[in-house]
Amino acid sequence: MTAMDPQWALLAAALVFIITPGIALFYGGRERATSMVNMMMLSAGAIAVTTIVWTLWGWSMAFAGKDMIGGVVGDPVSGLLLRDSMVADHGIFTSMDANTGLAGGIPAAFRLACAVVAVALITGALAGRVRYAIWLIFVAVWVTLVFAPLAHMVCGGGLLSPNGAISQALGIQVHDFAGGSLLHVAAAVSALAIVLIIGGHAHFPLKNFVLHTKSFATLGGANSEHKGNLVRALLMEVAKSNKTNDSAASSDDSKAKGDSSLENASELVANGNFANVSARAPHNVPFVVLGIFIIWFGWLGLMIGSSVGLPGVAGYAWVSSTITASASMLAWGVTERLRSGCFSAVGAASGIMAGLAASAAAADVIAPLWAVVLGAIVGVVTCLATHSKTFTRYDGALHVVSVNGIAAFIGILAVGLFADASGLLSTGDWHQLIAQICLLAITILYSGAVSALLAFGLEKLFGWRISEAKERKGVDLADQGERAYDFSGIAQEKSAIDAEDKTQM
């Protein structure tokens, strides 16, 4: 964002900001009903903490500060408290920045909205089982040590920027139009690092089952005694997880339900159909769909704001990202239809998310045909990855990594392959592809290492998780003291009506 009409720039920042509540709905609808409030609060906490950190030193470290440590980060003092962007004129902050032509705070606001989106994406890996206070601490440190340095490297004139050391060494500019590496890859890698340290959901017993699928395959036929014993031992967890804390069923009914769960799951095992065995399902599919539409709408603001004030670039990036998202949705749907015989709304939403993530880096430099091809590729690949055993074992980071992470990874490589003026398939020149690989390698290694150390430190010092009992009961009541859906009034009214009907009889 270097030169743009202030009103349009501010509108772009506002549109990017609404991506975060869209993420809260998108991931909240996927979770249990007892985690919906927590999902909203994780995003609210991301907004609040990121804003404070950004105001204090984050903006300076990412964009305003003088280059430090070989282009890795900016100094935290030059832009402290936004003092480089907010200059008062007779007590009113109405000054214009001489370099950008924008009101002083607008670039900082736009980049803040992007930072919040990156943090909010991580919440998809954590909802339902982490302590809220620890999440707030994590956000403050992650924005400081991971996002701000990466933002400086990629977008703030640092190591990975178009004029940075990597670009100069390769003789070609590293290209990431709207922060695919910064928003999606870094968030996905960080999410996976956290989940590997803190573990999956307590109500996801089949993660143990998935870990042993290779053993099942080597134990012989469906009637194998060893295989049958292993099936029963593992699937007892499934029957246990189906019992809710407020269940009023008798012990005989519970046993019958457990036997039924074992019988159904054993049949799936015998047929080798592990993909359809799941301990979690979205509690509110309309929320998932509404969330992705809000994300898509806000995403168009990201395209406008990343266009550095060039209307033609903004317009084409708007169209290109929409083409990629649409192609990805259709490709995901076809793949899902071939696998399971259905075209689900959740799958469509995931396909759109994958397409948007893939378009982040490449939207301005690939032709419409390549935008369609890119969308089709990421739709198929992310659908297969999401349902693969490899990703199913990491239930928490399932969609953050297999959708956002993989799609953005492919999108960044697509610049090196499909870019109109520098791509390998367009020009035969491989330098752009090498530059994009360097961008991915540094982003993954840096964000993964720092996030893992941070997550490990918080785990040892404080512990990330709520207790298993509270998790099974629901984090909303345990940590927020609230329910997303309270039907007690309806139940009481129905009881009163039933009682009245009985008295009249």
Burial group, residue 223, by CB count within 10 angstroms (0-12, 13-18, 19+): exposed
Per-residue model confidence (pLDDT) at position 93: 74
Q: Which residues of the chain have pLDDT under 70?
A: 1-4, 94-104, 201-280, 389-398, 488-502, 504-505
Q: Do residues 351 and 328 touch, judged by C-beta distance below 8 A?
A: yes
β-bridge mates for residue 96, sequence order: 103
As given in the structure block, the two tokens for residue 446 are 């840096």
Domain borders along the chain are 6-202+286-461, 212-270
Q: What is the pLDDT of residues 242-252, one digit of tens each?
A: 444 344 334 44
Q: What kind and span of H or E run contains 67?
A: strand 67-68
Say whether 482 sits in a helix, a strand or coil. coil
CA angle 188, 345, 178 (to 5 degrees): 35
Cβ atoms < 10 Å from Cβ of 389: 13
Per-residue model confidence (pLDDT) at position 62: 96
**Nearest Cα to Cα of residue 237 among 468, 460, 2:** 468
Q: Is the pTM of this model over 0.85?
A: no
DSSP single-letter state for residue 65: S
Per-residue model confidence (pLDDT) at position 209: 43
Q: What kind and span of H or E run contains 73?
A: strand 73-74
CA distance readout (Å), 461 to 46, 350, 391, 455, 457: 21, 35, 28, 10, 6
Per-residue model confidence (pLDDT) at position 492: 63
As given in the structure block, the two tokens for residue 168 are 């100069």
Q: What is the pLDDT of residues 325-348, one digit of tens each?
A: 999 999 999 999 999 899 999 999
Q: Tell me which fold the domain 6-202+286-461 belongs to.
A: Ammonium transporter fold (1.10.3430)
Say whether 396 sits in a helix, a strand or coil. coil
